[in-house]
DNA sequence: GTGGTGGAGGTTGTATGATAAGTTGAGCCC
DNA sequence: GGGCTCAACTTATCATACAACCTCCACCAC
């Protein structure tokens, strides 16, 4: 009698362990959508547990919408549910999708820069300059520049003293960063590109530091519109 | 032997019916967080099903994170999981929370108005005017004005021809409309208030119609800033 | 050969009984 | 009163049995 063919059985009760094991096999592609899971009888012998345990595990997966048992036929794996994250990029291939996101970001970040200019505390001002300095440093060290770029924008969002701005960037970040690497490149970005980016950041930081709301708005707008242009350029290869 | 004490038992299998029944009782407050569910034995007799069914139902609820069985002790109802909707209003009581949201909206809608002014199609232009006309009409008919207000902003968002703007308003709408009724009042809003709102809408619509990007931006900003002011005013009672 | 039909075997759904293991609270002992 | 024991209850797991259902193959009629 084979015991726990699957390597992992950590949960304190058998059902939990089996759920984890099956969930993992579904996740890693052992079973794909539409496939039929092994029958309860086979699972009982394969995992060395009773049918009760197997059935409760399947009931759990069913509740999670991962599988759908059909009496007499078997237990079938369902399609992973449509990810319904608010600002989900449906298809990264569509250039327009990325442009659309950037446009929304322009809207928010222009205002963020403007508000930051009149509201930033000395600490926040400092944080912005530090974040701005991060980008060239990381580039010089050959580290990925993506996070440094994001860090600057987050620092600016924080300086509005309205947490919703950071929230917005974080929600968006999840859905645009993955392929954002594409636009800047996971390969070390060309130095002149980093210089450009860095200069634009500095201009924003200076305006915020000076408390010049309109200049900050303009600098942020210029920065993101340039990013958009660079993205279009990149797409055109 | 009592059969299905709960009125609803629609699902094609017993487990599904029991899950629905228990979920409903948890939702409607019959069982609150921390409460102990009836024992398996009691549930079997109360619903007239076997212990197998009861256990699988509980396994389902467990997978959904609604309950947590503890061997020897019982099955306990868990706290409803922290709602993690991106722009969730943590506490409607906090005025600042609403103000924060409005501020984010100002940012997005200013740009939306600006973009709409240069991008709107004739149909979209028409839709905006229609939506603007909806507000005074609904007010005159004593119907709720909330939806008419939202409709105008959505029409404007649509006119950007960037679907992300509508998406943004819809995501935000879910978390700010509930209590937005509070600011304008579910009771018929005072006529002069409606007139004010309507005039501001018209100004935006005119600017968009004229293709004057800057005027549209300014009108949108004025409108939302006024809304913010009115909200503060209302809070102050 | 082709098409329909039946049934056998496999599969999930449900019921029942039994045992193990953990929790809890009442009552006893000191 | 404080600590201990234990009985009763509860969930966890196993085993067995039968009902309902689905699939597919073999057989049969044409």
**pLDDT greater than 80 at residue B221:** yes
* Number of residues assigned to chain B: 237
pLDDT reading at A123 higher than 60: yes
Domain with CATH 1.20.120.530 in chain A: 95-236
How far is the C-alpha of A181 from the C-alpha of B137, rounded, in Å?
Answer: 50
Q: A171 touching B, CB under 8 A?
A: yes
Strand C nucleotides, any atom under 7 Å from protein beta carbons: they are 10-18, 21-24
CATH topology of domain A95-236: 1.20.120
Tokens linked to A114: 């403007």
Of B115, B155, B110, B113, nearest to B132 (Cα)? B155
Q: Name the least confident of A75-79, A179-183, A210-214, B4-8.
A: B4-8
Residues 6+ apart with CB under 8 A from B213: B114, B115, B117, B118
Calpha distance A111→B104 (Å, rounded): 8
| Interatomic CA distance for residues B40 and B164, integer angstroms | 49
Question: Which residue reads 């996740």 in tokens?
Answer: A27
Residues of A in contact with B13 (CB under 8 A): 71
Q: Is the pLDDT of residue A81 over 90?
A: no
- Is the pLDDT reported for residue A235 higher than 80? no
pTM of the predicted structure, to 2 decimals:
0.71
Q: Which residues of B touch A19 (CB under 8 A)?
A: 63
Q: In chain A, where does the domain assigned CATH 1.10.10.10 lie?
A: 7-77
Q: Does domain B7-77 have CATH number 1.10.1060.10?
A: no
Distance CA A216, CA A218 (A): 5
In the predicted structure, residue B88 carries a pLDDT above the cut 80: no
Residues 180-209 of B with CB under 7 A from strand C: none
> Which of A150, A183, A184, A188 is closest to A169 using CA atoms?
A150
DSSP, collapsed to helix, strand or coil, labels residue B210 as: helix
A59 lies within 8 A of chain B by CB: yes
**b/e per residue, A69-87, with b = 16+ CB within 10 A?**
beeeeebebeeeeeeeebb
Residues in chain A, total: 237
A114: how many CB neighbours lie within 10 A of its CB? 23
Q: Determine, for residues B103 and A162 on separate chains, whether the beta-carbon distance falls below 8 Å.
A: yes
Average pLDDT score over residue span B139-155: 84
C-alpha count within 13 angstroms, C-beta hemisphere, residue B32: 1
């Amino acid at each position: 009698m084979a015991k726990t063919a699957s390597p992992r059985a950590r949960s304190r009760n058998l059902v939990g362990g089996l759920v984890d094991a099956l969930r993992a096999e579904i996740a890693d592609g052992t079973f794909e959508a539409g496939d039929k899971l092994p029958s309860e009888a086979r699972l009982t012998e394969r995992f060395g547990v009773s049918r009760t345990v197997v059935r409760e595990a399947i009931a759990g997966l069913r509740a999670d919408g991962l599988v759908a048992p059909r009496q007499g036929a078997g237990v079938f794996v369902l399609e992973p549910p449509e990810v319904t994250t608010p600002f989900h990029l449906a298809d990264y291939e569509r250039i327009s999708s990325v442009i659309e996101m950037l446009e929304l970001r322009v809207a928010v970040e222009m205002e963020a820069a403007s508000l930051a200019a009149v509201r930033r505390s000395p600490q926040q001002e400092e944080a912005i300059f530090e974040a701005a300095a991060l980008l060239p440093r990381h580039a010089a060290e050959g580290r990925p520049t993506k996070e440094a770029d994001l860090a600057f924008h987050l620092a600016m969002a924080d300086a509005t003293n309205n947490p919703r701005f950071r929230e917005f960037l974080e929600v968006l970040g999840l859905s645009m960063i993955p392929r954002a690497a594409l636009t800047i490149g996971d390969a070390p970005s060309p130095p002149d590109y980093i210089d450009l980016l860095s200069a634009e950041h500095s201009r924003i930081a200076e305006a915020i530091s000076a408390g010049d709301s309109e200049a900050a708005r303009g600098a942020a707008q210029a920065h993101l519109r340039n990013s958009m242009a660079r993205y279009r350029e990149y797409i055109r290869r």
